[in-house]
Amino acid sequence: MYYNDNTFIYLNGNIVKAAEAKIDLYSETLHYGYGVFEGIRSYKMANAETKIFKGIEHFNRLKNSAHALNLPYEWNSEELIAGTYEVLKLNNLQDAYIRPLVYAPANMSFSVNNESFIVIQTWQMQPFLGEKLLNVMTSSFERPNANAFKIQAKATGHYVNSILASQEAKAKGFDEALLKDMEGYVAEAPGANVFIEKKGKLVTPQLGNILPGITRATVFEICDELNIPVEEKQITLAELQEADSAFFCGTAAEIIGIQSLDNIPFKKHWADSIGSIIQKEYKDLVTGKKKKEKFEPIN
């Protein structure tokens, strides 16, 4: 599904066959979840070119995540982006998911390493997820305690929490989970940020206990351009339940509307929500078909 005998990857400055590459089974990343990664998308643009969306932002976040975890990081973002384009071309991919992973050498001692390794893998992704709406459940899992982890980093170990929450939601018949933070405020989904709409305005959890999403930042840019009011603040579960509409956003999820929370539908139809305006705009942005319309706030 992810690769075959003809798939190439970028590995520590070289382009090699995925099926022939090796990883050290004594790697600290494998044993302790001590590594950092990214999730990036490339799109086939309106002019048929392949474009990595916000590549610099993603590779810079990778570097910041590595620094947050004391992982040595010597690469520069431009070089890695060039390597990624090369891999995409060799793998004949345009609408792709791109997964850089910085991993540690063999080390069971918890001491700081003097080297790290990087792999960049790519695989086919559907062009745009589109209009499917999600039935979401409030998770029994909380997001990791921000005093226990560098929660702003995209670290491999954090994703055990995401996996548990997502599996719980799916086992109960929902599409996805919504997690609260350790203080009980709305935080994020296992792999996406959340926005709610209330009285013509968007609200999203402030930074601190969530991953600072690049799509979240893009939603702010779209709001700025379209004059859509948006605020960052702590959101209670009651505020989420009383919202007019809500959506998740993330590189893989893109902008995806939430139909119901714990089986209770949101008041507004997705088609009438601010989220659906953002969704269209995001799609046009990533595929290079940007068109501008101003938004009239509703009071």
Size of the site for ligand PMP (CB under 6 A): 13
DSSP helix, strand, coil percent of the chain (3-state; round to 5): 30, 30, 45
213 vs 275, beta carbon nearer ligand PMP: 213
Q: Which helix (H) or strand (E) holds 43?
A: strand 40-44
Ranges within 8-67 binding ligand PMP (CB under 6 A): 39
Residues 146-165 that bind ligand PMP (CB under 6 A): 162
Applying CB under 6 A, does 273 fall inside the site for ligand PMP? no
Q: How far apart are the first and last CA of the chain?
A: 48
Indicate which single residue of 83, 205, 250, 257 sits in contact with ligand PMP (rule: CB under 6 A). 250
Element of type H or E holding 57? helix 55-68
Q: Which span (86-94, 134-142, 188-196, 260-268) binds ligand PMP, by CB under 6 A?
A: 188-196
Q: Going along 66-163, which residue ranges are E strands?
A: 96-103, 117-124, 134-142
By CB atoms closer than 10 A (0-12, 13-18, 19+), residue 160 is exposed
Nearest residue (CB) to ligand PMP, 118 versus 210: 210
For ligand PMP, the closer of residues 8 and 248 by Cβ is 248
Per CB under 6 A, the segment of 62-70, 74-82, 123-131, 212-220 that binds ligand PMP is 212-220
Map residue 272 onto helix, strand or coil. Answer: helix
Q: Give yes or no for residue 215 binding ligand PMP (CB under 6 A).
A: yes
Q: Site for ligand PMP (CB under 6 A): which residue of 55, 100, 213, 257?
A: 213
The C-alpha angle 233, 234, 236, rounded to 5 degrees, equals 135
Spatial contact of 161 and 39, defined as CB atoms under 8 Å apart: no
163 vs 298 by CB, closer to ligand PMP: 163
Interface residues with ligand PMP (CB under 6 A) are 39, 162, 188, 191-193, 211, 213-216, 250-251
